[in-house]
Amino acid sequence: MIEVVGVSAEGPDDVARRLLAEADVVLGGERHLAMARAAGVAAELVRWPSPLKPALPALVASFADRRVVVLASGDPLVSGIGSTLVDLLGPDAVRIRPAVSSVALARARMRWPAESCDVVTVVGRDVDRVRRYLAPGNRVVVLSGGSGTPREVATILADEGLGATRMTVLSDLGTAAEDRRTGTAESWPHDSVPALNVLCLEVAGESVAASLAPGLPDGAYENDGQLTKQHIRACALAALRPLPGELLWDVGAGAGSIGIEWARQDPRNRTLAIERSPERAARIARNAGHLGVPELQVVRADAAAVVTGALDLPTPDAVFVGGGATAEVVEACWRALPPGGRLVVHTVTIETEQAVIAAWQRHGGELTRLAIETALPLGRFTGWKPARPVVQWAATKPYGTGATQETGIIQLPGTTRETGTTRETGTTEETA
């Protein structure tokens, strides 16, 4: 059992001191190890390796027969080492003893009830994550990645038309050096702030924020015409039925709009956008960052790679096929789904429509023809201009069929997955 002890800025409390006195090994950052030294701890003091995650399994294993205490800031499960250790070792191997978190201290200083604000972390993550929460009138607590975070967030707010947002930086919370700095995003006056800071935003401005509801305006996406249009996109998301923490494969992603809006539904949702074009893959990453979901992963591959077994992908909870929907691709996606998984396929061509109808006849579900008409000027009058009709097949894999891990999917040498960006290595586009 590893004891993960949260400490406040003043240092360990009585319980933490007792655990430290009984420990054989104490793990932590230099700031926390300095607290242990000041408390006269006799245990071996070990600083976290860098980079942390790759070295962590071997480090923990090396102390398997010793009593280990980990020191962390505040609540170790708020963007902390506690979360990492639970993921690595499982909940039964870790005991968490939290102190007051920096989020709780920041809300107390701002007098913000927990239910009145959102919390987002950019510690070790892309600062574009804050974009998802930028709605006028919203309160946001941002766990900063360092002294440069407030300036980066101010730039984002100004770019979004939210320069009137009031920003408060609370640094070194709970210490004698605690400090508070304020200003607006459009004229942020503080070029340098302490590295240990929490940023509180009172979002204001004339910008029309991007809604979290499915069906953002088409203009929200950079695209080359390969874009699932607004109303059709809303229908697709409704059929996909995203739930918190679920994974979507967006096959033939184009501009990435389906996968992006899936990810925006909940911060825990994940998307793998499969797109063969390098230009479109890079565009998807830009769209994802601009719309606040930079963790979206872009996989450079043809849709056919799902069939051939050229990709090593985790099992999806849902799949959307918007490009390259051959009969083989549709069947491969269906096989990849576990019971309860959802598959939605859109097609505008007769050939692909025939494949979709055949799949509908085999697997059931709903077959829908979506036709949208828009009022536009017609001479001195107004008329209806129809868009190209879209056939949508939506089906849920029934329970009792057995989880389908038989996808034949393998890792192709050189295939690379990227978060927020794309890159090629070796034979990325090669298929079996």
Query: 299: which strand partners?
Result: 274, 417
Query: Is residue 375 scored above 70 in pLDDT?
Result: yes
137-152 CB burial, b ≥16 within 10 A, e <16: ebbbbbbbbebebbbb
Burial of 375 by CB count in 10 Å (0-12 exposed, 13-18 middle, 19+ buried)? exposed
CATH class (in words) of the domain with range 2-99 = alpha beta
Crossing angle for the helix pair 52-62 and 81-89, to the nearest 10 degrees: 60
Residue type, 109: R
Convert the pLDDT of each residue in 298-344 to its tens digit.
999 999 888 887 788 999 999 999 988 899 999 999 999 999 999 99
Average pLDDT over residues 224-236: 95
95-121 CB burial, b ≥16 within 10 A, e <16: ebbbbebbbbbbbeebeeeeeebbbbb
The whole-number pLDDT of residue 307 equals: 87
Does domain 103-202 fall under CATH 1.10.10.60? My reply is no
Query: Where is 399: in which H helix or E strand?
Result: none
Q: What's 245's DSSP letter? A: T
The whole-number pLDDT of residue 420 equals: 46
Convert the pLDDT of each residue in 201-224 to its tens digit.
999 998 777 889 999 999 999 999
Among residues of the chain, what percentage have pLDDT more than 70? 93
Average pLDDT over residues 223-229: 94
Give pTM, 2 decimals: 0.86
Indicate if 103-202 has the same CATH topology as 2-99. Answer: no
Query: Is residue 353 scored above 90 in pLDDT?
Result: yes
Convert the pLDDT of each residue in 128-157 to its tens digit.
999 999 999 999 999 999 999 999 999 999
Provide the CATH topology of domain 218-419: Rossmann fold (3.40.50)
Average pLDDT over residues 42-66: 91
Query: 359: which strand partners?
Result: none
Residue-range domain boundaries for the chain: 2-99, 103-202, 218-419
